[in-house]
Amino acid sequence: MSQRLRHVRSALGSFIALPALFLLSGCDFNFWRMDGHQTTMIAEGPVARTQLELFWVTVWVTLFIFVAVGAVLAYATIRFRARSEADEHAEPPPQGHGNPLIELGLIGASVLALVIIAVPTVKAIWSTYDVAEADRKDALEITATGYQWWFKFEYPSEMAALDNAGAKAPLVTGNELVIPVGKPIRIHLRTVDVNHSFWVPKLAGKVDMTPNRRNLLWLKADRPGYFWGQCAEYCGDSHAVMRFRVIALAPNEYSEWLQQQQSLARQVAVRPADSAKSREKVVALRSFRTNETGVSAQFDRDPLKSWQAKQLPEKNEDTALIAQGRQLFAAKTCNACHTVRGHGAMGIQGPDLSHFGSRSTVGAGLLENNSEQLRRWLRDPESVKPGNKMAKAYRDNKIALSDEEQVALVAYLESLK
């Protein structure tokens, strides 16, 4: 057997063995569907759809080039291969300059391929940069600001109550951007520290948030849905877990949400029965593995439905425990960093918590907003998101929370609908 034949057999064996290895190892092939939370292969809005169409144009053009070049290479390799040992040591044939017609044809084909890609590219850049002039007056303006490591969303045209005296300021939320379906959304991108990048794959491509520079992105959702977003620019220790959500609602549902968010934080009156009843001993929080997921399978199956359920007050809430948590919120100096409108907390270092209980996630989209995961975050934020400012505040101010205090703070935060 010749050396060349042995190489061919070895290559074919490797080619056949690779997929067999995957099959025998029980590998999950769901990734081939490319339908994950942050896939770019599913477009739910006009911006994402334009970018996906451009992607496919590029794929088909480059695939054609690959097949054509590969076919010519395969033909030349087979047609002019050495057919015997003598051929392997024969003198090479006379070398010529080439065929001018073939060279000019290849140049023309290359230019044509570039034009086929360039025309839709320029068109896509133009249409995805900003809302069309005719639709701009109907667009909802939002300012998104990146922090290490969370997102603040401000609605400049929507005023919210600051206190009982009637003072108002633009509505502010944290880590969850709620928008109406079918309405163009112009997002002004800012950062207060380092470079970040705003990316909602199913709605729009990524755009950087650069210090001292105004950047803009627009998007529109075709249908109600719950969309995953992510910072796409390395920005420090917890860049990988700097996440956010975009929740698209039908216009009437969005109006209801907006009205709720514009009001002051919910006040809960203590019921005499709650203040009189004795509480069972608080159970210590279980241990969590490093990087253990904080989202349940039930939430993952229908996150929009889970988010909608969070808009309603908890059943059988302990009003006395909520009052205790509100006192602890001030005593532990949480109000120095967070705003709770109407509760005397006006901090600006961390997310606005006025309606925190109605959000679906904790820790900038990292954990599901339920009692266990919220308590996990309050107990040790450093173990969940390394380097975050809340963990630094715990260290600097020597803040420690007992099991009883954790439970009371959870009850208070969950009451803020």
288 and 253 share one domain: no
257 and 281 share one domain: no
Segment 328-350 mean pLDDT: 93
149 and 186 share one domain: yes
185 and 316 share one domain: no
* DSSP secondary structure code for residue 130 in this structure: S
* Beta pairing, strands 243-249 & 176-180: parallel
269 and 197 share one domain: no
Among 354, 361, 360, 358, residue whose Cα is nearest residue 338:
354
What CATH number has the domain bearing residue 332? 1.10.760.10
228 and 317 share one domain: no
Segment 113-123 mean pLDDT: 94
How does pLDDT run across 269-303, given as a tens digit for each residue? 888 887 777 777 788 899 999 889 999 999 999 99
How does pLDDT run across 170-210, given as a tens digit for each residue? 999 999 999 999 999 999 999 999 999 999 999 999 999 99
254 and 278 share one domain: no
313 and 382 share one domain: yes
When mean pLDDT is compared across 70-84, 91-105, 306-320, the lowest value belongs to 91-105
Neighbours of 223 (CB within 10 A): 10
CA 133 to CA 315: how far, in whole Å?
Answer: 48
In a domain, 62, yes or no: yes
pLDDT value, residue 33? 66
In a domain, 226, yes or no: yes
118 and 249 share one domain: no
Q: What angle do CA 85, 86, 91 make, to 5 degrees?
A: 125
In a domain, 204, yes or no: yes
> How large a percentage of the chain has pLDDT more than 90?
73
In a domain, 15, yes or no: yes
Please state, rounded to an integer, the average pLDDT across all residues of the chain. Answer: 89
pLDDT value, residue 337? 94
* Beta pairing, strands 215-219 & 243-249: unpaired
Reported pTM:
0.85
Q: Give the burial class of 128: count Cβ atoms within 10 A of its Cβ; 0-12 exposed, 13-18 middle, 19 or more buried.
A: buried
List 190's β-bridge partners, or say none. 145
In a domain, 134, yes or no: no
325 and 252 share one domain: no
> What is the number of structural domains in the chain?
3
Which of 241, 263, 285 is the last residue before a domain boundary?
A: 263
Residue 352 is part of which domain span? 265-417
309 and 391 share one domain: yes
107 and 228 share one domain: no
Evaluate if residue 213 carries a pLDDT over 70. yes
In a domain, 285, yes or no: yes
- Report residue 19's pLDDT band, with 50, 70 and 90 as the boundaries: low
In a domain, 332, yes or no: yes
Which of 263, 282, 308 is the last residue before a domain boundary?
A: 263
